Structure 1
Amino acid sequence: MWCEKKINSKGTSYAYRERFTDKRTGKKHSLVVTLNSNSRHAQKMAATMLMEKFNELIATKAEKWNELTETLTMEAVCREWIDATSIMVKDETNHNHEQYCRRILSGLENGLLFRDFSPVMAERIVQTMYYKEKLSFSYCSSTLTTIKAVMRYAKKSGYVDNIYDFETIKLKRRPATPAELERINNKFLNKQELKECLEQLHGINQRIALAMEFISLTGLRCGEMTALRWQDVHLDKKRLNVNGTIVKSCCNGDEVQRGTPKNIYSYRDVDLNKRAVAILMWFKADNKRLELWSRKGNCISRSYTDRGYIFTTRTGAPYNIQFINRQLRKIFVPGKKISTHIFRHTHISMLAEMNVPLKAIMQRVGHNDPNTTLQIYTHVTETMKTETRIKLEQLSI
């Protein structure tokens, strides 16, 4: 406790101050009482008054807390956390937070009070997802990370005192089944499969077929490819600059569809080969054709508007990734699940076959963690197996 002397028109007074810590929440409270004396008796009286004032404050807070816990639901805390973090993250990340929270709440009783949410419940949610439903390790880990983030927010808000048991929850990776290992190794196409896939896709949608071929030649993410504008391409240098991505949660016609790339390492320049340049030139010519036909009221593209994007629909809007994937599901390649990402993986795989250094591949595709790249092409392709067998024959002692 410390004392401050104050002199005003009413005379001399003494302000006694003390700082207390709420053991339940860890928050500090600075309290003050004013007396007309600074004698020892006044000091003892001030200390007593300050303690009584603090106890009243704690009692009031405890009463309000008890009232709150009678009605505060887990769903309400999740919503508070989403709202609190939304201003600090990208729209796509905020959308993911909402998805994870929905998944968490789906594993709980409707209207569950926050005070009744336990570490056992949290653990059961992610273990059910991973061990019973066989969902991916990364998805289940992200769900667990979300639970911990919500609980940290709750602690800062004073809704809970201790979250240690939540922080110690870990998800142990289960042994991969043969089917899962096969799926991991089938996240790329060999040259024959790629050719067959693109041939089928040409019969469904030529523009999407060329766009997917472009990804297999550049290693771009689908969102990065659809966000490309002519100002991002330098045909004379045979190079493009990646500086944006299409936000999945946006719809065609929204004022803002283009957002920042996945992370700072995604900003990069990507060199183009002749075929990639040819694809760009095809889109340049075909988009111009659609624009001219639109001006003439042609029924094929009467709604075309040039928005500056390269890989577009017949209306000039950038392709929606979900729409592309729906078209890709019509493709059949034995043992392969065809999605936009398989073409990116195929590009990485082809670079690995060509013995391109890992660091160069990482820079080209916008990876920072080498393990991310290694996970994609740790499989050994048939070409690499053949080369290994030839080299083994040359071994001698």
Structure 2
Amino acid sequence: MAVIRQRSNGWTYQISWYDENGKRHYKTKGGFKLRRDAAAAAQEVELYHQKDGFQKEDTPLMLYIRKWYKLYKEPHIAERTKLSYLKSFAYIEQFFANKPMGGVGTDQIQEFINDLGKGKGVFHGHPHAKESVDKVRTHLSAVMKHAVRDGIYRFNPVEGTKVTFANAAKSERDKFLNLDNQKKLSAYILDNFTPKYFIYAFAYTGLNTGLRPGELFGLTWDNIDMKKQIIHVVQAWDYTTTFDFIPPKENHKRDVSITPKVVELLKDLRKHQMAHLKNPRNFVFLTYLGKVPSPVTTLRQFKQLQSASGIPDDDRVSLHGMRHSHASLLLYQGVNIKSISERLGHKDIQTTMRVYAHVLDEMKDRDDALIQQILEKEFG
């Protein structure tokens, strides 16, 4: 929109536009005797520039997002965080396509959030968890705050929206296998182990190490020291965006000890691979066709493994549940929480305490009873 002002030498107009790279340009011209002459001239210039560029409200949302990300985010964030932003932007582009900024308001954003969380519209059949929707909303809000400063919006249109989702996330209490079910699963794996199918070694390693699923998928044979019984966690596998190696979360590289039985299973797996599969990138876990397993396939097989082990439907967990199961077992057995935090690759001990607060609460109740017994025994 043109700005028309009266000056000492007549009327003046100023217009602005964005080129195809998102760069903003200005043009000012004065000396018009009448206001309508300045307005008409401004309109003519605006129409000319609209052929090759955009007025700010006509700038496509995704063009603005990409420019903002390149300038203000990409140079300053870690690789894993970059992937998180790019994933959010993919959802935004899937919904809004080439929609201009002027057509994206609070109502449209709320509709996007609703569809993403409920798995409707372009996301049909793929509802997203509360945490995922909230992250996308946060990323979009950051973009819109900048758009407010650019004068495209008077206020941030994301601020009036609410996160919606299909189902409440599982409580932390429901995310792990209890000791009895862990023993069932471990026993079944050892009794039925076959190196042809990766899921046996994958699940057994996950239960015994607490590695994140991405860290398990990203393991290569040179990460494993069989003699010292150690896994060097130096990378993960990005199975959502780049389909390549990325640093572990928080770039927290670490060594995780493994038991002789884990080593035994991995040796058998390695022997089978060398005899039957091509493995140029040296992956530890491959399908029987020599491919990196997908999370969907792995989860389906893991659920089948739990079922065959005799674990009830309601007690079965996701791939990430192996990690929670491992950590919860160590906590219940009295392992120092700092050691557990390091083993899990958490940023700090506070993260471990927050994630496993339910276990710590149960342990406090148990310890209170133990303290009472000790005091009564020693002092009457």
TM-score w.r.t. the length of structure 1 is 0.64
How far residue 364 of structure 1 moved from its aligned partner, in angstroms, is 1.4
SS in 2 for 1:140: helix
Pick the aligned partner of 2:320 from 330, 338, 341: 341
**238-247 or 122-131: which moved more?**
122-131
Letter in 2 for 1:341: H
How far residue 345 of structure 1 moved from its aligned partner, in angstroms, is 0.8
Letter in 1 for 2:288: R
- 1:116 matched to 2:107? The reply is no
- 1:274 matched to 2:260? The reply is yes
8 Å CA contact 2:303–2:317 kept in 1: the answer is yes
Where do 5+ consecutive residues of structure 1 fail to align? 1-20, 34-46, 251-255, 292-300
8 Å CA contact 1:155–1:163 kept in 2: the answer is yes
Q: Which residue of 2 aligns with 1:8?
A: none
How far residue 390 of structure 1 moved from its aligned partner, in angstroms, is 3.9
Give, in whole Å, the separation in 1 of the partners of 2:41 and 2:350: 53
- 1:283 matched to 2:269? The reply is yes
How far residue 365 of structure 1 moved from its aligned partner, in angstroms, is 1.3
- 1:144 matched to 2:123? The reply is no
Q: Which residue of 1 aligns with 2:205?
A: 214
How far residue 211 of structure 1 moved from its aligned partner, in angstroms, is 1.3
How far residue 189 of structure 1 moved from its aligned partner, in angstroms, is 0.8
How far residue 80 of structure 1 moved from its aligned partner, in angstroms, is 5.2
Letter in 2 for 1:116: G
Aligned residues: 331
Identity percentage of aligned residues? 17
Give, in whole Å, the separation in 1 of the partners of 2:45 and 2:160: 30
Pick the aligned partner of 1:360 from 334, 339, 362: 339
Pick the aligned partner of 2:300 from 306, 321, 326: 326
8 Å CA contact 1:77–1:150 kept in 2: the answer is no
8 Å CA contact 1:304–1:314 kept in 2: the answer is no
- 1:161 matched to 2:145? The reply is no
Q: Which has the larger radius of gyration?
A: 1
- 1:242 matched to 2:228? The reply is no
SS in 1 for 2:156: helix
Pick the aligned partner of 2:216 from 217, 222, 225: 225
Q: State the Cα deviation string for residues 79-122 of structure 1 (Å, max 9, x = none).
A: 652586489356843652244315754xxxx9765313223543
Give, in whole Å, the separation in 2 of the partners of 1:266 and 1:59: 57
**Matches for 1:37-76 after TM superposition, within 5 Å:** 68=54, 72=58, 76=60
Q: State the Cα deviation string for residues 277-308 of structure 1 (Å, max 9, x = none).
A: 223222222323xx2xxxxxxxxx4x544532
Q: Structure 2 vs 1, CA of residues 355 and 164 (structure 1 numbering), >3 Å: closer, same or farther?
A: farther
8 Å CA contact 2:17–2:54 kept in 1: the answer is no
Where do 5+ consecutive residues of structure 2 fail to align? 1-13, 19-23, 33-37, 121-126
Give, in whole Å, the separation in 2 of the partners of 1:150 and 1:382: 40
How far residue 321 of structure 1 moved from its aligned partner, in angstroms, is 2.3
SS in 1 for 2:256: strand
8 Å CA contact 2:134–2:163 kept in 1: the answer is no
Letter in 2 for 1:143: V
**Matches for 1:66-105 after TM superposition, within 5 Å:** 68=54, 72=58, 76-78=60-62, 81-82=65-66, 85=69, 88=74, 92-93=83-84, 96-101=87-92, 105=96
Pick the aligned partner of 2:185 from 170, 193, 197: 197
SS in 2 for 1:115: helix
Give, in whole Å, the separation in 2 of the partners of 1:318 and 1:207: 10
SS in 2 for 1:241: strand
Q: Structure 2 vs 1, CA of residues 150 and 392 (structure 1 numbering), >3 Å: closer, same or farther?
A: same
Give, in whole Å, the separation in 2 of the partners of 1:325 and 1:22: 56
SS in 2 for 1:380: helix
SS in 1 for 2:335: coil
SS in 2 for 1:270: strand
